[in-house]
Structure 1
Amino acid sequence: MKAILLLVTCVLLSAVLAFSDRFETDSPDAKFVLAAADGGMLEVKLGELAVKKATAAKCKDFGKSMIKDHTKVNNELKALAGKKQVSIPTQLSTAKQQMYDSLNAQSGEQFDMLYMNMMIASHEETIGLFQSESNEGKDPDFKKWADSKIPALKHHLEMAKALFPQNQKESSVK
């Protein structure tokens, strides 16, 4: 009788734990983690592409910064998500892969302009994502982490905006 009671208790406990894990995975915080990881991977991959294909040295340098900064942030997110048992994707989402592919199809000054445009749009989107988590997230660790990244993201955005007009001037001079 004790063995049956113990078995039933273990089964019920397992069911509760399984449900709570699924609930966490479907939470807004987990959705933030997935979106942040997807965006972070894209930043790194686009940076790698810029290092290879950009014509302007400033675009290449910006790409190097994106690789360095976003790799560090991606690793932090991966560690925090691991502690919270939230899985991080290892491949880009379809939408992000399409962005990568469209940039990869470009060359020359067209590449530089599209890359910098993508960096501006991507950082604006990412800042919004991180601000939403910071303000509305439920998990205090994710909220704090997101909040701590906003100043660097805003700095990246300002850097990208500052570079974009220079690329247009360089194009018109040639």
Structure 2
Amino acid sequence: MKAILLSATCVLLAALLAFSNRVDTDSPDKKFVMSAADGGMLEVKLGELAAKKAASAKCRDFGKTMITDHTKVNGELKALAAKKQISIPTGLSAAKQQQYDSLNAMSGEKFDMLYMNMMIASHEETIGLFQTESNKGQDPDFRKWADSKIPALKHHLEMAKRLLSEKTTGTAGN
């Protein structure tokens, strides 16, 4: 009888631990994860386009930086989400795919200008998303993780603004 009671207690405890490590399916934290994953995938895919298609070397290099940095962050998010039993999407949302398609249709200087404008808008949006999670998220792990990424996102934003400014003032060079 003790063995049955002990086994039942262990099963119940394991179920409670598994449940406590889950994030509510409609929680703000899950919405953050989905949005962050979608944005992160877009950053990588746009970076891949820029690395191939950008007219200026600086834009190509910026694209390579986005690939490297956001691939790393995307992996971290995927691992943390998996711990919380959240599956992240493997493809872009329709809205993000449309952004990708519009950039892919461009070439030359028009490509560079649109890419840098997209990077500024995307990073501003992402910083807001991460700040909201950092300040108001319910899950302490996601809050801490989001907070730790804000400085790098702000750095990317400043890099993008600087590069766009150089392009619009004609000081960019190759």
Q: Give the TM-score of the pair, scaled to structure 1.
A: 0.85
Structure-2 residue corresponding to 1:169: 169
Structure-1 residue corresponding to 2:112: 112
What is the number of equivalent residue pairs in this alignment? 157
- Contact 1:47–1:66, Cα closer than 8 Å, also in 2: yes
Structure-1 residue corresponding to 2:7: none
Structure-1 residue corresponding to 2:93: 93
Structure 1: how far apart are the matches of 2:169 and 2:63? 20
Structure-2 residue corresponding to 1:129: 129
- Residues 15-94 of structure 1 aligned to structure 2 (within 5 Å): 24-94=24-94
Note the alpha carbon deviations across 1:64-111, whole angstroms, 9 max, x for none. 000000000000000000000011000000000000000000000000
Letter in 2 for 1:77: L
Structure 1: how far apart are the matches of 2:39 and 2:148? 17
Q: Secondary structure at the match of 2:91?
A: coil
Question: What is the CA RMSD across the aligned residues, in angstroms?
Answer: 2.2
- Contact 1:54–1:60, Cα closer than 8 Å, also in 2: yes
Identity among equivalent pairs (%)? 75
Which structure 1 residue ranges, 4+ long, deviate > 2 Å from structure 2? none
- Contact 1:116–1:163, Cα closer than 8 Å, also in 2: yes
* Ranges in structure 1 where 5+ consecutive residues have no aligned partner: 1-9
Cα displacement (A) at 1:166: 1.2
- Contact 1:131–1:147, Cα closer than 8 Å, also in 2: yes
Cα displacement (A) at 1:152: 0.2
Cα displacement (A) at 1:168: 1.7
Structure 2: how far apart are the matches of 1:144 and 1:48? 29
Cα displacement (A) at 1:119: 0.2
Structure 1: how far apart are the matches of 2:120 and 2:92? 19
- Contact 1:56–1:167, Cα closer than 8 Å, also in 2: no
Cα displacement (A) at 1:170: 3.2
Q: Secondary structure at the match of 2:90?
A: coil
Cα displacement (A) at 1:169: 2.8
Structure-2 residue corresponding to 1:146: 146
Structure 2: how far apart are the matches of 1:38 and 1:90? 9
Note the alpha carbon deviations across 1:18-67, whole angstroms, 9 max, x for none. 9x96x712110000000000000000000000001000110000000000
Structure 1: how far apart are the matches of 2:25 and 2:55? 42
Higher helix share: 1
Q: Secondary structure at the match of 1:25?
A: coil
Structure 1: how far apart are the matches of 2:169 and 2:144? 40
* Ranges in structure 2 where 5+ consecutive residues have no aligned partner: 1-10
